Structure 1
Amino acid sequence: MRKQLEYIIVMFFISTIWIPAGFPQTQNIASINNMIDDAVNKAVESLINVDSKIKTVAIWSIEASSESPIDVASIDKKFTRALIKADNFSRFTVIDGTVLQMRASELNLEFSKVIDRSKMIEIGKALDIDAFLYGSAALGDEEIILNLNLVDTQTGALIWLDEIRGQDPVLIARREQEAKEAQIALQREEAAKRLKSRVDATLRSLLLPGLGQLYTENNSRGITYFFIEGIAWIIFLQDVISDQDGNGNTTETGIRIQRNIGLGLIGINHIISAIDGGLSAHSYNKQLKSKYNLSLELHKSTKQLLLTYRYHF
């Protein structure tokens, strides 16, 4: 029983080490296959534009370095299927590698994947193949590079060649999504810095009407409070009103009433502007929170303004 338990523990640790290490490789192979699909489709889109006399084609060889994780047999199969399907199954007749070797063997023709145009001409004429496709495959930076050539079996001349770069659409979409999320996060961070304190806006407007509104970027209302404040101070400081004595001199009672009116307007303007400043800050923050999905809360213990980001992608 003890030995069985020790065996289970050992196998558990081995699995925790080896199994996770296998997943990146699996994902990498899947990504390479997506790159191959993309490159093959691009190549076939270009190949259908070659001379319309080229009907029957065969893949001579697609080579890759021995250290490369590229499955060249998979490329051959994907090319065969894609060429057959080209232009709604009407563009090419494809001789796959197995049939090519079998028919060459039946005719006692030596077939080798070494690039030899004279052999291509010989086998092509014997098997009624119009052109041979050959090339190489290599992995680049998040892409696969196919260097392809098409040889006319009548003349041995190159009638088409291209460097095709295939990418993984899934990987590209993921990178675009990550970039989008990073951009949104940056916008939220910038928006968070722009949030306004209601207390600060209130105190600013209490000190000078309109200042809190300018702080919350409500410029039109800020200018309005500035204008009212100026009118109120003019009334407060002006010594001439309609209540005059017979000699045209302002009475003390008139001056007192005028200054009381001015002082009252100043006080009312300060109070209303202070209240409006706090409301402007609240409205400003509400718009930012709605636009960038921010949550604003006041921590109960420290009474500090905290920003909490809620990410919904």
Structure 2
Amino acid sequence: MLVSLVLAAPAVWAQTPDAAAAEVAKELASALQRGVGSLESHAIVLTPFAAPDNDPVAVRWAAKLGQLLVRDHGAQLIDREALKAVLAEASLLQSAGGEIAEATLKEIALGFGAKGMVTGSLRHTGDSYVVEARAIRLQDGVLLTASTAQFVVDGAEEPLESRSLTVQLRRMADRLSQGLEQLDGELRYQRVAILPFQEVGPSTQDKQLGTLVSSVITTVLVKDHNLLVVERSQLAKVIDELALGQTGLVDESKTLEVGRLAGAQGLVIGSVSEAGDRYLVSARVVSVGTGQVVLAEETQLPAADMVALSSEAVVLRTRAGAVYRSLLLPGWGQIYNRQPIKSATFVGTEVAAFAVAAVFHLRGTGFHDDYRSKKAGTPQLVLDDLVAKEESSYSMRNWMIIAGLAVHAFNVLDAFISGRTFDTADFTVNGSSATIRF
């Protein structure tokens, strides 16, 4: 009875997403090698898998499949952005089981020099996803293999990653990219303006979390999606010209004007607001031409992680901020620029210069008091010696003051040279914490 139950069990077993991707990649690579030859010498087309409503889990799984085909099996995949343009023209984004015309396959092969194609779909059924992937030889349209797998995204096993700042912000940026693709024209030729997110609440404003979140999203859209993003400095000039602040950016008509003046076709706007032990991040993709909101996204981020990230965020630091601080206190600008050794050097040198100046001033004052205390009949030679020592001490005091001021001026100049104003931020994860870097 037990044996019969095992034999009767379904051939598709639920597994982790990575395990399912590895299994499917292995089967597809094996079939492609048999059907078209070495994957290292023949280009392969990997089409976006059909998925309901651009399900982010499905999108990430398909991307993982592509990574494994390249990393583990040496596949030469066609450039994704170039492929998306041709697929849109050829209407090749079909659901699983749809017939792919031989003429269409030949068109792709001629255009990219590809020998094989991987296509398929993902369906969300209950708590699991079912994958159907196919490998096709483009020369004659022969189906080389059809691979099926099933995986489960276990909410109990994924909370750390799903709650991670890095993962959450990347996912939001990925979904915003999908919204930007709905704009008229080819996305890779469009300019996108990402405005600083509105900061709602004193804590949010104090830590400049709107600027931080919008900068991270900018980085993901630029680096992961190759989008043309309007530079932050250019946006700042436009906002200044229109005399808009945080309150002005709430008015959507004014944000559209910012987009038009910046030469952007799409806008990403949003807000960060306090919500107890979390921060609520809302973002929208708006068409500059029509003013239509094409996508709205929302996510919640742990307050503790956001505060920690803000304290390390170089994106919030500017050259002007460094100069201002160095003007007030020696070395403060270097601390602001994350250069503690320089800071200690400037502080030590300037303090030493003024300390020595104080010593010489006290010496000069002492010689002056001695001179005034001398009574009549004191030899002129003694008096002249006291005057000479007083003048020498005051002269050294003046030179040390000049030296201290020169060190302070150089400290300001160094803060300006070493300081930077950033347009994008890069962020990495170390353990469970995220850090902004440039």
TM-score by length of 1: 0.36
| Larger-Rg structure | 1
TM-score by length of 2: 0.26
More strand by share: 2
More helix by share: 1
